[in-house]
Structure 1
Amino acid sequence: MLTDALKDEIRQAYSRLMDSKQLTPRWGQRQMIAEIANALGRIPGPGAPSSDAPAVCVIEAGTGTGKTIAYAVTAIPMAQALDKRLVVATATIALQEQFVYKDLPDIRHHSGLDFTFALAKGRRRYVCLSKLDRLLMDNQGESGMLDLQPEGMAAATSDEAIPIYNAMIDALGRGQWDGDRDNWPDNVAEGVWYPVTTDHAQCTGRRCPNISQCSFFRARDELQNADIIVTNHDLVLADLALGGGAILAPPEDSIYVFDEGHHLPDKALSHFSSFCRLHTTAAWLQDAKKALAQGAALLATLDALERPLQLLPAQLDEAVSSLQAAEQLVAGLFEHVDLDGARDDPQIRFEHGVVPPDLLSLAQTLASQFQNISGVFARMEAALEAALDDEFSNLAKSDIETWHINVGGMLGRSEGAQALWEAYAQDPEQEAAPMARWITMLTAGGQYGFDLRCSPILAQDILQDNLWTRAAGVVITSATITALNSFERFILHSGSPRDACYKQVASPFDYSNAVFAVPAMDCEPGDAQAHTDAIVATLPDILQPDEGSLVLFSSRRQMLDVHEGLAATLGERILLQGDYSKQEILRRHRERVDEGDGSIIFGLASFAEGVDLPGDYCRHVVIAKIPFAVPDSPLEAALAEWVEAQGRNPFMEISVPDAALRLVQAAGRLLRTESDTGRVTLLDRRVISRRYGRAILESLPPFRLELAR
């Protein structure tokens, strides 16, 4: 429903904003506005028949386009006119806070648009006052709460945690803190923070005695009347995984904008994957049995809990026995793995997702056992919730609340294990695209055990069922969505509708101000040692002593070897990823450049995206090699295997487009403003010598090329 009046409102909002801020309208912004308006115009107005074409728009807009202004001045009035909630999702919390605290107030002030907005975060970003109270009681041995930390998370010691908890309760009482982790003045270790947060299963919601002071519900109440909800991809996907409308507005009543939307398929896979660590799962089941035995006399005073308490001990014992059998079976699978030759924790990936018959049979047993256990925990949780509403309950409210938290935590852990074993018990022949299934033997850092994982290899079915067919409208935008100048890679991974609107918008930057160079080298990355030696020999010659430079590696091993090889010549100027946090490295780098000194960052993939070093902070980006995916990634390997089984070429269809996209992202660290200049140097001659190299070069922005023959 794109009326003439609505078109005029969008045009006027954009013009007012440009005039008020004394900005020059950009052609790329105008293109984005038109594409988004036309796509969302497919959303039918009240009482109108639905459109055959989806209200989905996928826009790649180059760096400097001004994407935020373009989608905001278009989507805000359209959502208001259609009586829909606008949900803007960014890839990170930092980006969402910039949008809330800087961009939206600025747009509202200058555009003349009248709208309200609120920031949405998940429960785990807020302190749970009930758990905080109980953990402070626990310091006196009185809380009765179970330790249900996520697998792999190191628990904090009492000496480390209690002073912080006391400071938190004091700050809450004084009104100096709102319970939001991001507003706490200091960094809080994960092992300290996690125990004082809650999730959907453990939260008693409106029944909680602390509901009037609950930080999460206060924040969520602000969402009810907001025109715009700002959040991140993870929270949108968590809401969709719960069926939609559990945290945010229902998808049918929402228009979604996914900024940095190229992350969406991978984020979706992580939300719909499952895992189970055998040793720790057996341990928490045994701990749960002990805790329930200790609390049985108390809990049995609730009639509804008597039967579950009778059933659980035997069910828990049976699951522990099956897990121990699984551990022995899995250990046998690793007898044929070269453990000495493995650099990291060794893995076994099941080809085509097919689990061996013995493990398949055991998975079916465990799936059934955890289904039964989850069912009993769910009945217990429901009974405890009912008891909270019962004024004549035999149990004290504080005891009911404590056990609701405990049982909710057990239910969440049980459902997680159930999901893994159900996924392992499936017949791959019944799956449209196979699941990746793999097992990791944990050996690093004194850990022991086996970690079983299962994940879809493509997010297309997930997003088709939960997003594309349900949302009122969807806008996907990012500086890097296409690969090899095509949207096919994104369509394959995300399942976005082929009849959606797809558009590439060029960056306004003048790429003729920058050079993309491939120097002469007598080796290729296939000879790892020779390539590393060549990088060590080349970097001192091409890095200027007074410049800010960024050197990007695909391999941590190679990064460390090159760093060691340059210790005597460039060592003092290098800031190595891993020596400090990412933010600290960037701070030190900027400080050095501001003082007129040269500085070189050595980084991996996390520095190839989302790093903003304009002007003198980065005049040279060096890329060690074409960033092909790590060959032993279980997901990448399973996807390639599936493509090959269909008679297609996984290298040309998957590996090359993925690498081209990553190379564009890495090269994009150079020009961050319209006045920036500099060089990108690729130390990999395959871009010239191999057949696929020309396609990769043609997918880059229009740099001036210097290719040594």
Structure 2
Amino acid sequence: MLGDKTKESIRSAYKRIGESLENFSPRKEQAYLIAEIAKTIAGEYDRNTRHIVIEAGTGTGKSLAYCLGSIPIALKRKKKVIISTATVALQEQLVNKDLPFLLRHSGLAFEFCLVKGRQRYVCAQRLALANHTHSDSDSDIEQVALFERKPTKHDTQLLKRMHKALVDGKWQGDRDSWPTPIANDIWQYIQSDKHSCLRHLDEHAQCPFHRARDYMDNANVLVVNHSLLLADLELGGGKILTEPEDTIYIIDEAHHLPDITRDHASAMATVKGAVEWLQRLAPTADRINKLATTDRTISPALKVADLSEEIITELRRVNEYFDANQNVFFGEDKQYRFENGVVSDELRHFGEDIANASKKCFSELNKLYNTLLEEVKDGNVQMYKAEPLLAEAGFEIQRVENLEKIWSMYAKQDSEKAAPLARWIEKTTGKRDDYLVSASPIDVGFMLQDNLWDKCDAAVLCSATLCALNSFDHFRRQVGLGNDDGTQYKKLNSPFDYQQNAVLTIPKMQHEPNVSEPFTLELISKLPSLLRENQANLVLFSSYWQMEAVANALREKPQYKTIQVQGEQSRQAILNLHKERCDQGKTSIIFGSQSFSEGLDLPGKYLTNLIITKLPFSVPTSPVDQAHAEYIKHKGGNPFMLLSVPDASKKLVQSCGRLLRNEKDTGMITILDRRLVSKRYGKDLLDSLPPYRLNIEY
């Protein structure tokens, strides 16, 4: 329960923050949010299920609310708070602004840090090796063995600069803080990995990843991204981050959680590409065996050679199978999705054989790897000789692990009681024709329930857009939370005066978007009357080709030459020029796609006229979305009403949310899609929007 001392600690912190800010007026929505979060985490609603799902509109002050509602309780109960976000922008806001502000003004004593995945950090030892090739009579190890290509002169110079900066203490060793891009095939050789960059090895004890983890161990609040959170949960929790039962999770931007979870649980692998790297396993195993001073490496080295050859043989049979069934799998489309996830018996048997052999190969590679590590620790093998082989073996272990994962998903018999896996193959062309084999779960709610909700101490999920059609049901099903399991659901409206500050117009239109060419021509003729001179205009499109067609047509007129189109420059360059024009009182027009409808913060004069050309219905083009729609239809449901409409509802709320970012913002929204008034679902979509002043033209 929420004790009196903890209540007083929260009240005092909120009061101190108010006293430290000029013109601070306590928001009742924010105070209510703090109280609800605190009561849920303390178990006042349900002692066993301490979960709360919150949709809070723009301007509610969510980050301050969840920090004040969780940190005092965590400090009292000696728990960690993990704040997980979907975007770098919110992470930076929390670490550079919100948490330092809270620490300075609340009177709470806590430490916080940003936690990144292991692979965002360089391994100091591997970077040193990349800059120095050892020549030794007992070893013929090339440090370039893991590079996909031989490093260029530019790569070599970059590696030298990075090494010097790390040694001189001018770089902390994380990829994101290096001032220039680092090619993936170079970074993957010098990055920290779980197999070779180990704290108990003297050469790695001071690697950047381990230093970062020292900060994490001492911090009370950890800021992570959803991908890192899911990576930890996939390992059982507590392997990268803290144990779930000792953690209060704050999942901000929670509307991204279902998709990121699904992406994280999917797997893919090429056929010929896998054969190519599998051919390197036996030489690696043989070199480890020759370097080791013990006989214990002989048997696993021989088994790795046999098993890798067995896998190669099976993959070549898979390739022959796909080649022989070209007419079945591939027409004009280079992608083939298996209906209801059902693959042929032949392909399933291939999956069983490859998965079983990969699992055994993974085990034998691990034995070799661990034995060589022991040899280094015992002083029988010098580290500089073992390091390249450990790095190479670690890299190959990860690849074998992924191979076992994807082919296990093809070998698996789906349960009739649950959604099947989505399975598909793709024919790739380029330097080498190949087949890409992929699989993904459709439903991930059960995974989150098993790995997170059933284990964690408490969880707070929040976003400005969690409801679809004014209900939490769609999101609840996606993430595996119950309706009557004790989870709390709260929806708080924004404190903005929508009626006073914004008008939403649905103008007369001759065509609906489903007749694409006439609708595009109508957009070209209609938009000039809707764009505002000497104001900030944002026009959102649902398709790139339509956006480009309209932009090209309008740019033929002198006054529209300066239209900025997403993709022609970087996002930041577009926004910088936009703000520069607005500051000068000039007309600024941005054309953007759906990705500009979220995370774009243009307060005040930087956006006063928002035009949405089309309702954001997404066509299920990805194999996973198609499989999901197919499964719902198979169960007797309507995929359009159960998937497309709720999804469009959330996206429309996000799009309209670009206009009012602060309480004093004003402006207009125009939606050029008459389906809002001509279709039955249109009313539900309108009702899910904030209460703008509505103007429907007839």
The range that moved more, 433-442 or 254-263, is 433-442
Matched, 1:310 2:311: no
Question: Helix, strand or coil: the match of 2:25?
Answer: coil
Post-superposition Cα deviations, 1:520-564, rounded to whole Å, max 9, x if no partner, equal 222122222222222222222211232222222222222222233
- 1:347 matched residue in structure 2: 335
CA distance in 2, matches of 1:534, 1:202: 61
Alpha-carbon shift at residue 584 of structure 1 (Å): 2.2
Matched, 1:567 2:558: no
Q: What is the 5 A alignment of 1:666-705?
A: 666-705=655-694
- 2:16 matched residue in structure 1: 16
The one-letter code matched in structure 2 to 1:77 is P
Q: What is the 5 A alignment of 1:159-178?
A: 159-178=153-172
Tell me if the contact between 1:509 and 1:674 (Cα under 8 Å) persists in the aligned partners: yes
Post-superposition Cα deviations, 1:585-616, rounded to whole Å, max 9, x if no partner, equal 22222223223332222222221111111122
Query: Against the structure 1 CA distance between its residues 575 and 168, is the aligned structure 2 distance closer, same or farther, given a 3 Å change threshold?
Result: same
CA distance in 1, matches of 2:363, 2:144: 21
Q: What is the 5 A alignment of 1:481-630?
A: 481-498=466-483, 499-512=486-499, 513-569=501-557, 572-630=561-619
- 2:448 matched residue in structure 1: 463
Tell me if the contact between 1:300 and 1:309 (Cα under 8 Å) persists in the aligned partners: no
Question: Helix, strand or coil: the match of 2:602?
Answer: coil
Tell me if the contact between 1:90 and 1:260 (Cα under 8 Å) persists in the aligned partners: yes
CA distance in 1, matches of 2:47, 2:335: 46
Tell me if the contact between 1:148 and 1:409 (Cα under 8 Å) persists in the aligned partners: no
The range that moved more, 555-564 or 404-413, is 555-564
Tell me if the contact between 2:248 and 2:458 (Cα under 8 Å) persists in the aligned partners: yes
Corresponding residue to 1:369 among 351, 357, 368: 357
Q: What is the 5 A alignment of 1:18-417?
A: 18-22=18-22, 23-42=24-43, 53-137=48-132, 143-147=142-146, 157-212=151-206, 214-293=207-286, 295=287, 298-299=290-291, 301-336=293-328, 339-340=331-332, 342=333, 346-391=334-379, 393=380, 395-417=381-403
Tell me if the contact between 1:468 and 1:497 (Cα under 8 Å) persists in the aligned partners: no
Tell me if the contact between 2:60 and 2:495 (Cα under 8 Å) persists in the aligned partners: yes
The one-letter code matched in structure 1 to 2:9 is E
CA distance in 2, matches of 1:303, 1:349: 48
CA distance in 1, matches of 2:252, 2:615: 26
Query: Against the structure 1 CA distance between its residues 431 and 415, is the aligned structure 2 distance closer, same or farther, given a 3 Å change threshold?
Result: farther
The range that moved more, 686-695 or 225-234, is 225-234
Tell me if the contact between 2:293 and 2:375 (Cα under 8 Å) persists in the aligned partners: no
Tell me if the contact between 2:281 and 2:305 (Cα under 8 Å) persists in the aligned partners: no
Query: Against the structure 1 CA distance between its residues 530 and 329, is the aligned structure 2 distance closer, same or farther, given a 3 Å change threshold?
Result: farther
Alpha-carbon shift at residue 132 of structure 1 (Å): 0.9
Alpha-carbon shift at residue 67 of structure 1 (Å): 0.6
The one-letter code matched in structure 2 to 1:132 is L
Question: Helix, strand or coil: the match of 1:222?
Answer: helix
The one-letter code matched in structure 1 to 2:468 is A
Tell me if the contact between 1:145 and 1:406 (Cα under 8 Å) persists in the aligned partners: no
Tell me if the contact between 1:463 and 1:495 (Cα under 8 Å) persists in the aligned partners: yes
Matched, 1:665 2:657: no
Post-superposition Cα deviations, 1:646-669, rounded to whole Å, max 9, x if no partner, equal 222221111100111011111111
Query: Against the structure 1 CA distance between its residues 661 and 203, is the aligned structure 2 distance closer, same or farther, given a 3 Å change threshold?
Result: same
Identity %: 40
The range that moved more, 316-325 or 74-83, is 316-325
Aligned residues: 689
Alpha-carbon shift at residue 317 of structure 1 (Å): 2.0
The range that moved more, 402-411 or 316-325, is 316-325
The range that moved more, 617-626 or 456-465, is 617-626
Query: Against the structure 1 CA distance between its residues 331 and 489, is the aligned structure 2 distance closer, same or farther, given a 3 Å change threshold?
Result: farther
The one-letter code matched in structure 2 to 1:6 is T
Structure 1: gaps (5+ residues): 45-50, 150-154
Question: Helix, strand or coil: the match of 1:537?
Answer: helix
Post-superposition Cα deviations, 1:299-350, rounded to whole Å, max 9, x if no partner, equal 354422211221222322221222222223234554246754x5xxx32111
Question: Helix, strand or coil: the match of 1:428?
Answer: coil
Tell me if the contact between 1:43 and 1:473 (Cα under 8 Å) persists in the aligned partners: no
Tell me if the contact between 1:21 and 1:110 (Cα under 8 Å) persists in the aligned partners: no
Tell me if the contact between 2:288 and 2:372 (Cα under 8 Å) persists in the aligned partners: no
Query: Against the structure 1 CA distance between its residues 110 and 136, is the aligned structure 2 distance closer, same or farther, given a 3 Å change threshold?
Result: same
Query: Against the structure 1 CA distance between its residues 408 and 610, is the aligned structure 2 distance closer, same or farther, given a 3 Å change threshold?
Result: same
Tell me if the contact between 2:80 and 2:248 (Cα under 8 Å) persists in the aligned partners: yes
* RMSD of aligned residue pairs (Cα, Å): 2.2
Post-superposition Cα deviations, 1:430-486, rounded to whole Å, max 9, x if no partner, equal 56221111222224x666322221111122111001100000000011111111010
Alpha-carbon shift at residue 145 of structure 1 (Å): 4.9
Tell me if the contact between 1:139 and 1:162 (Cα under 8 Å) persists in the aligned partners: no
Tell me if the contact between 1:202 and 1:406 (Cα under 8 Å) persists in the aligned partners: no
Query: Against the structure 1 CA distance between its residues 26 and 286, is the aligned structure 2 distance closer, same or farther, given a 3 Å change threshold?
Result: same
The range that moved more, 160-169 or 301-310, is 301-310
Question: Helix, strand or coil: the match of 2:662?
Answer: coil
CA distance in 2, matches of 1:442, 1:561: 30
CA distance in 1, matches of 2:451, 2:312: 35
Tell me if the contact between 1:553 and 1:624 (Cα under 8 Å) persists in the aligned partners: yes
Query: Against the structure 1 CA distance between its residues 607 and 331, is the aligned structure 2 distance closer, same or farther, given a 3 Å change threshold?
Result: farther
TM-score, reference length from structure 2: 0.94
The range that moved more, 482-491 or 596-605, is 596-605
The range that moved more, 3-12 or 57-66, is 3-12
Question: Helix, strand or coil: the match of 1:550?
Answer: strand
CA distance in 1, matches of 2:98, 2:256: 21
Query: Against the structure 1 CA distance between its residues 15 and 296, is the aligned structure 2 distance closer, same or farther, given a 3 Å change threshold?
Result: closer
TM-score, reference length from structure 1: 0.93
Tell me if the contact between 1:56 and 1:501 (Cα under 8 Å) persists in the aligned partners: yes
The range that moved more, 401-410 or 533-542, is 533-542
- 1:648 matched residue in structure 2: 637
Question: Helix, strand or coil: the match of 2:53?
Answer: strand
The range that moved more, 633-642 or 683-692, is 633-642
Query: Against the structure 1 CA distance between its residues 550 and 302, is the aligned structure 2 distance closer, same or farther, given a 3 Å change threshold?
Result: farther
Tell me if the contact between 2:292 and 2:372 (Cα under 8 Å) persists in the aligned partners: no
Corresponding residue to 2:427 among 438, 441, 445: 441
Tell me if the contact between 2:284 and 2:392 (Cα under 8 Å) persists in the aligned partners: no
